[in-house]
Amino acid sequence: MEAFVDSGKVHKLGISNIYSMEKLQQLYDSVRIKPSVVQNRFRIETKFDTSIRIFCKAHNISYQSFWTLTANRKALRSPGIVKLAHGKGLTPQTLMFAFMMTLGHSPLSGTKNEDHMIEDVAIAQRIVDGEQILTEDELNEIGGQLGLLQVDLSSKW
């Protein structure tokens, strides 16, 4: 793969479905061209990739989450998330995307629904434009609903 970067056919390399911090560290240490992105499912079973996300931040690697909504359906239906979302004029799903983007991550959307696509792009644009959609307390509230530890949210990515 590095030869493709060397030849200019590919600009960056990334890795997907790597849930072991040890394997990510081993990969990172063994390659000349470092991954620029890690793409993983964002779910409780992997402890939301806490150590991997911290590693990514420390090494300037983008973290892309997929299955962000599918794996967290229970949290998205929780009264706290629903109330917070509706209070901001959002759906629980767009609130979750705002949460991820506020942390500096890139949530991937696999929707085929045009209305949902429009909502996803709109929330991303608001964040890109610098709008603060979520306060630190709200980030912690959402994190608590997901089961993230407070330390996971202590600094934005």
Superfamily of structural domain 2-153: NADP-dependent oxidoreductase domain (3.20.20.100)
Query: HSE on the CB side for 142, CA within 13 Å?
Result: 24
AA identity, residue 57: K
For residue 77, the tally of other CB atoms under 10 A from its CB is 10
Q: Which of 46, 75, 61 is nearest to 15 (CA)?
A: 61
pTM: 0.90
| Pairwise CA distance, residues 124 & 75, whole Å | 21
pLDDT confidence of residue 153? 60
Digitized pLDDT (tens) for each residue of the chain, 157 residues in all? 999 999 999 999 999 999 999 999 999 999 999 999 999 999 989 889 999 999 999 999 999 999 999 999 999 999 999 999 999 999 999 999 999 999 999 999 999 999 999 999 999 999 999 999 999 999 989 998 888 865 566 555 4
State the sign of the Cα–Cα–Cα–Cα dihedral 47, 101, 17, 91: positive
State the pairing for strand pair 62-66/37-41.
parallel
Q: Residue 140: which H helix or E strand, with range?
A: helix 136-146
